[in-house]
């Protein structure tokens, strides 16, 4: 099985700051590092590190060869990444001493992925494969429709959150991941709580509170506690969680095991500074298993 991920690829410019900047404030950073990032790239790397076959669909600009090379080094199939006329996407990430962040993204090439390239790539997908999409690219709806037609497990990580974007893809989804605030916003927009959504599997992430899984077919939900750690940088932890859950399911793990493993991966991730480059590999995650 394979995971086809239509996802963003960013250069993450990560600034360490004494506190998150307020409106109108000028603030001196105490450090700057560049990482490979983008919610899409982070999820692809996480899933590849969790031993899934990952095929990334996306675009970079003429300045993005380094990002494609890095994805390849991390075990992601990059043959379906296009070169667009727009520059490669980037993100300005500020991280405070408690590990909280603020992120501004410049989408660039991530919103210039040729639809024809998405169609061509997905024509190679087979029933039983997974399709993953987020909200940092174009062509999400097209991909979701194709995914449904082909019998793929269509998964949506609803970030950055936009209720209308979720509503548009909702009829095609098998799997939805969102955080508690987003779940509330979606409920306000659709009148449906997570357990009532027309999506087979729904996970609401709760930060330090763990995650809640809704099996909408049986109507049951189950809570998964977070692994307690001292966070230094929460950037990319949610992406790591999503990539690991989908990789676990793709490799045949039961849902509970896939979620538990993903919780451990996300817990390790928040103890590291950076994004795709520091996502833990399966060996580290398995070593973190309790007793």
Q: How far is the CB of 43 from ligand RIB (least distance, A)?
A: 9
Q: What is the closest distance, in whole angstroms, from the C-beta atom of residue 259 to ligand RIB in the complex?
A: 19
As a whole number of angstroms, the distance between CA 238 and CA 36 comes to 16
Instruction: Determine the interface stretch with ligand RIB among 4-12, 66-74, 203-211, 243-251 (rule: CB under 6 A).
Output: 4-12
**Is 275 a binder of ligand RIB (CB under 6 A)?**
yes
Q: Whose Cβ is closer to ligand RIB: residue 236's or residue 248's?
A: 236
Which residues, numbered 237-266, are part of the site for ligand RIB (CB under 6 A)? 239
Give the one residue of 105, 157, 260, 270 binding ligand RIB; rule: CB under 6 A.
105
In degrees and rounded to multiples of 5, residue 132 shows phi and psi of -115, 135
Phi, psi of 58 (to 5 degrees): 180, -165
Strand order in the sheet with 201-205: 77-83, 54-60, 3-6, 130-133, 153-157, 175-179, 201-205, 211-215, 220-224
DSSP 37: E
Q: Does 37 bind ligand RIB (CB under 6 A)?
A: yes
Measured from the CB of residue 34, what is the shortest distance to ligand RIB in angstroms? 11
233 binds ligand RIB (CB under 6 A): no
Minimum distance between the CB of residue 35 and ligand RIB, rounded to whole angstroms? 7
Of positions 103, 163, 165, 180, contacts ligand RIB by CB under 6 A? 103
Determine if 137 is a binding residue for ligand RIB (CB under 6 A). no
| Candidate segments 78-86, 117-125, 217-225, 233-241, binder of ligand RIB by CB under 6 A | 233-241
Can you say whether the dihedral through the CA atoms of 72, 76, 81, 87 is positive or negative?
A: negative
Instruction: Show the tokens assigned to 39.
Output: 């919610």
7 binds ligand RIB (CB under 6 A): no
**Distance spanning both ends of the chain, measured CA to CA:** 31
CA distance 175 to 200: 6
CB–CB of 92/15 below 8 Å? yes
Name the segment binding ligand RIB (CB under 6 A); options: 35-43, 56-64, 175-183, 211-219: 35-43
d(CA 268, CA 11): 22
Q: Which residues pair with 4 in a beta bridge?
A: 55, 131
Compute the distance between CA of residue 235 and CA of residue 270 in angstroms, rounded to an integer: 7
Least gap, CB of 21 to ligand RIB (angstroms):
17
Cβ-based nearer residue to ligand RIB, 125 or 133: 133
CA angle, residues 257, 46, 187, in degrees to nearest 5: 70
Separation between Cα atoms, residue 273 and residue 34, nearest integer Å:
11
Determine if 274 is a binding residue for ligand RIB (CB under 6 A): no
Name which position in 2, 3, 7, 8 contacts ligand RIB (CB under 6 A): 8
User: Which is closer to ligand RIB, CB of 17 or CB of 152?
Assistant: 17
Contact residues: ligand RIB, CB under 6 A: 8, 10, 12, 37-39, 42, 91, 103, 105, 136, 235-236, 239, 275
């Amino acid at each position: 099985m394979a995971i086809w991920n239509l996802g963003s690829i960013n250069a993450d410019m990560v600034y360490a700051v004494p506190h998150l900047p307020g409106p109108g404030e000028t603030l001196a950073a105490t450090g700057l590092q560049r990482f490979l990032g983008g919610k899409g790239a982070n999820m692809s790397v996480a899933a590849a590190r969790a031993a899934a076959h990952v095929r990334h669909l996306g675009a970079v600009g003429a300045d993005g060869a380094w990002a494609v090379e890095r994805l390849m080094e991390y075990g992601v199939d990059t043959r379906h990444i296009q070169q667009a006329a727009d520059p490669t996407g980037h993100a300005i990430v500020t991280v405070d001493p408690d590990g909280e962040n603020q992120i501004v993204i410049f989408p660039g090439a991530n919103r210039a992925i040729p639809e024809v390239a998405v169609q061509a790539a997905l024509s190679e997908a087979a029933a039983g494969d997974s399709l993953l999409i987020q909200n940092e690219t174009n062509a999400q709806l097209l991909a979701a429709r194709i995914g449904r037609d082909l019998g793929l497990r269509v998964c949506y990580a609803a970030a950055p959150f936009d209720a209308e974007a979720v509503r548009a893809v909702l009829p095609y989804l098998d799997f939805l991941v969102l955080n508690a605030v987003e779940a509330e916003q979606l409920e306000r927009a659709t009148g449906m709580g997570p357990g009532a959504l027309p999506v087979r599997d729904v996970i609401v992430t709760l930060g330090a509170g763990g995650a809640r899984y809704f099996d909408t077919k049986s109507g049951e939900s189950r809570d998964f506690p977070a692994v307690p750690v001292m966070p230094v940088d929460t950037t990319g932890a949610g992406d790591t969680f999503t990539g690991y859950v989908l990789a676990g399911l793709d490799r045949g793990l039961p849902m509970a095991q896939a979620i538990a493993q993903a919780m451990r991966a996300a817990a390790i991730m928040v103890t590291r500074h950076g994004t795709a480059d520091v996502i833990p590999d399966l060996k580290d995650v398995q070593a973190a298993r309790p007793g």
